[in-house]
Amino acid sequence: MSDTPVGARPRGASLRAIFASASGVLGALGRNRVGWAAPLVAVLLVVAILVAVLALVPAIAPFVYPLL
């Protein structure tokens, strides 16, 4: 029985978490027999990352607000 504490959120956790989520989606394509969707998923992930970057600019942030 493992009793090791999960630990607090480290610095730079967001980038690692986002990368883990994105690679998780790519892995799920094969597992769920929808490999044909890989190009579409790649486009959506690029859009998502673009949105995330735009959201960092205060003047633009409100315009990507619906996605945040």
Partner 1 sequence: MLLRRAMIRLGVPLLWRRIAQVQAARLLRFGITEKDSEWQILHALDDVDDPATRARVLQHALEESHHAAEFTRVSLNVAERLPPKPLPPRAPIYETGSGVEGLAGFAAYANVGEVDVFEQFDAYAAGIGPGEARSVFRESKLDELGHVGLTRAILDELVPDKRRADWLVTKVRLRRAWDVWLRFGKTLGEINTTLVLTALYLLAGLLFGWPAWRRLVGEKR
Partner 2 sequence: MDILGLSSGELGSGASLVRDGALHACAREERFTRQRLDPNPPRFAAEHCLRQAGHPAAGLSGIAVAGDPADRFTRVLTGTLGQGFPLMVPAFVRSMSAWIGHHLWERDSLSRLLDVDPAAIQYRARHRCLSAAAVQGSGVDEAAILVVDTIGEWTTTTIARWKEGGAPEDVERFEYPHSLGLLSAAVAMLLGLRPWEGLAPLWDLAAWGRPTLTSRFRRVLQVHEDGTYQITPGFLRFAELFEPPYGDPWTGAFTDLFGAPRDARRPWPFRAGEAPAVVDTEDQRHADIAASLQVVIEEAMLGLARRAKAKTGAAHLCVAGALAGNASAILRLRREAGFASVHVPADPTGLSAGAALLLAAERGAPLSGRAPQPFGGRAWPAGRDLAAVARMDPMWWQRFRRRGTAPVRDARIEVTPELDDDTLLAQVVADLAAGRIVGWLEGAFESGPGGLAHRVLLADPRDLAVARRLTERVTGAAAFAPTTLLTRPEAVAALVDEPAPTAGWVPLAAHASAAARAAALTAVHADGTLRYLPVDAAVAPRMAALLDRWSASTGAPGLLLADLREAEDPLAASPADALLIFMRTEVDTLVLDQGLVRKELP
DSSP 16-68: HHHHHHHHHHHHHHHHTT-GGGHHHHHHHHHHHHHHHHHTTSTTTGGGGGGG-
Give which of 30, 46, 55 is closest to 67, Cα–Cα: 55
Q: Which residue, 4 or 59, has its beta carbon nearer to partner 2? A: 4
Q: Which of 10, 12, 24, 66 binds partner 1 (CB under 8 A)?
A: 66
Q: Which of 13, 26, 28, 34 binds partner 1 (CB under 8 A)?
A: 34
Chain residues in the site for partner 2 (CB under 8 A) = 1-10, 13-14, 16-18, 20-22, 24-25, 27-29, 31-32, 34, 37, 40-41, 44, 47-48, 51, 66-68
